[in-house]
Amino acid sequence: MTARTVEPGTLDSRSSRNHVAPSPEPPDRGSSRRPPGLHSSPARKRQAPWIALGLLLVFGAALSFAAWSRASSTKVAALVVIRDIDPGETLSASALRTEQVQVGSVVPIVGPAQEDLVVGRVARGPIPSGTLINRSMVSGDDVVPPGHAVVGAVLAPGAYPSASLTAGDRVDLVATATTTDRGVDVASLGTGRVWAVSEPDGPGAVGLFVSILVPADRAAAISNAAGQQRLRLVLVGAGA
């Protein structure tokens, strides 16, 4: 058998088929090939802006809550009635004093600098001593209009049309339930305008105390009917 000679520098075709070329070495991704001064950022550093934003929001919420708490607990100066005021009485400065009170933002008050909004005006209804005065308790005008009078009446349930009767409502005034030789008399006493509405004073009192602005020439008859518990109110529309 003849031996086959392989010259130096050449590969045997059979051995070359079994030869596996070495895998290329992966490129070095280390920091040694990055430009000078460029460094990779850890995940913690990438989250830093979000952490800072969260802290800022929490801090802002805490400041807002502190401001709200301080505002809600702050006392303010308000005018308080120091004696009982009767319906139709003109409110004087001597009937008021200034007190520091703690009230919610929805509670109407009159401050000492706004005294002229209530002083010299007429009480729409009874104002007990110690009441925080507000503009709705006094008339919009300084005095009762000429030719008119304000009549007060304690009305039992059923003598008024609605518990939600309010100042400014127009009402018909009726005197009822008198018996004569001719039968039962029902007298119309004209119309009036509700001046004020409040609850009657006294233990066990029920119904409403209603002050009514009426023509002066009918005031006596209306007061008489109210005193006899015969006065009835009928709510009417503005155009009636």
Predicted confidence (pLDDT) at residue 113 exceeds the cutoff of 60:
yes
pLDDT digit string, tens, across residues 29-54:
544 555 555 454 555 556 666 666 66
How confident is the model at residue 160, as a pLDDT? 92
Mean pLDDT of the chain: 76
Predicted confidence (pLDDT) at residue 222 exceeds the cutoff of 90:
yes
Q: Please list, in sequence order, all residues whose beta carbon lies within 8 angstroms of the beta carbon of residue 159, skipping any fewer than 6 positions away.
A: 207, 229, 231, 232, 233
How confident is the model at residue 55, as a pLDDT? 66
pLDDT digit string, tens, across residues 121-178:
888 777 899 999 988 888 766 467 778 898 999 999 999 998 888 887 889 999 986 6
d(CA 142, CA 147): 15
d(CA 179, CA 186): 9
28 vs 195: which has the higher pLDDT = 195
d(CA 134, CA 107): 9
Secondary structure element (H or E) that encloses residue 196, with its range: strand 183-198
d(CA 156, CA 200): 10
| Confidence band of 225 (pLDDT split at 50, 70, 90) | very high
How confident is the model at residue 120, as a pLDDT? 84
How confident is the model at residue 191, as a pLDDT? 92
Q: Please list, in sequence order, all residues whose beta carbon lies within 8 angstroms of the beta carbon of residue 15, skipping any fewer than 6 positions away.
A: none
Predicted confidence (pLDDT) at residue 180 exceeds the cutoff of 60:
no
